[in-house]
Amino acid sequence: MNMDDGLVRVLDADGHRIDGREVPSLSDDALVGMYRDMVCSRHFDERAVSLQRQGRIGTYAPLAGQEGSQVGSTYALAEDDWILYQYREHGAIVVRDALEEYLPYWVGYEEGNGDIADAHVFPLNITIADHIPHAVGMAWASKLKGESKAFVCHFGDGATSEGDFHEGLNFAGVFDTPSVFLCHNNQWAISVPTEQQTASATFAQKAEAYGFEGVRVDGMDPLATYQVTKDAVERARNDEDDTPRPTLVEAVQYRYGAHTTADDPRAYREDEEIDEWRRWDPIRRLETFLRETGRLDDERVDAIETEVHDHVADALATIEELEADPDDMFEYTYAETPRHLREQRDELRRLREKHGDEAFLRE
């Protein structure tokens, strides 16, 4: 664990402001809202893991421990800035208030991916690092159109070992795209530790090879992550007087749970390691700061928890109302459905008509 090596940080491990460190210029409502969204993200995470264990949603990637970087970074964006994420950054969805629209994806409906585009969130990516070139392409297109938008691309430390990472960042550096690359270094790429992922001292320093700035931040400090992302977004803006410049942000943090619900982290790490990192818990640290500065008290914490539980419950209830259309399996891959897929679709329709949909269901 290396949480004291040159990281940008505002709050210490106990949530107290570090002497000489400036608190970002955020309103009281925004600071409390950041806390609320982190609490909501973790509660949703707990419910989602439980639902997966019950067989009610598919394989899920838990976020617990990473709320600070996800929520803090999203608060630094304008509403029309784009977010491209890997598969764990559910906190960004919570901030963009698209949880209900997002949920259908996790029970097998692609509409969930389509609907979050209305909140300027690019469809979820499962293949490691494949979305990075898309993020750069979108940013370049936006620049060529004369827009002033930033494109924040989330990925894990394991993605830095993929060719798409190097190609995307190299292109961004050469063509000055308005990109912010946010690497969530949560210490484990599934079961591969950081020291086996790269021989570089840090992930942030990889930016030097591409000709732009790399910054390391305490990803479990939402205030620090907010400020670092805000600075990066300002560099990325395609303003009249400034050439946009990309930034690589390495958010150092830890995932408390499994890589996904198909993973067993007990096979490759010890409980003592998890306990050590919990000392830096992002929700507890921000709550301490807000209480010390008079922005939060027991009554407001209770009210937030009640509101969050009701909000998540209402959102989750909507997935029970979804009805599957088997024809959807043959949609969305081609602009014009090819003959072999049309034949398969028609055959399935005949079988459904002959035997009934109940014959294809399993309890």
Residue 210 appears among annotated catalytic residues: no
Token pair belonging to 88: 């764990």
Residue 255 appears among annotated catalytic residues: yes
In terms of Cα–Cα distance, which of 214, 343, 187 is closest to 273?
187
C-alpha 22/C-alpha 155 separation (Å) is 28
Tokens 């209305």, located at residue? 118
User: What are the DSSP E strand ranges found in the chain?
Assistant: 82-84, 151-156, 179-185, 188-189, 192-193, 213-218, 247-252
Residue 216 appears among annotated catalytic residues: no
Given 36, 259, 285, 311, the catalytic residue = 259
Contact call for residues 198 and 161 (beta carbons, < 8 A) = yes
Tell me phi and psi for residue 248, to 5 degrees. Answer: -105, 120
Given 42, 184, 255, 285, the catalytic residue = 255
Tell me phi and psi for residue 331, to 5 degrees. Answer: -100, 170
Given 268, 279, 342, 349, the catalytic residue = 268
C-alpha 233/C-alpha 155 separation (Å) is 17
Active site positions, annotated: 255, 259, 268
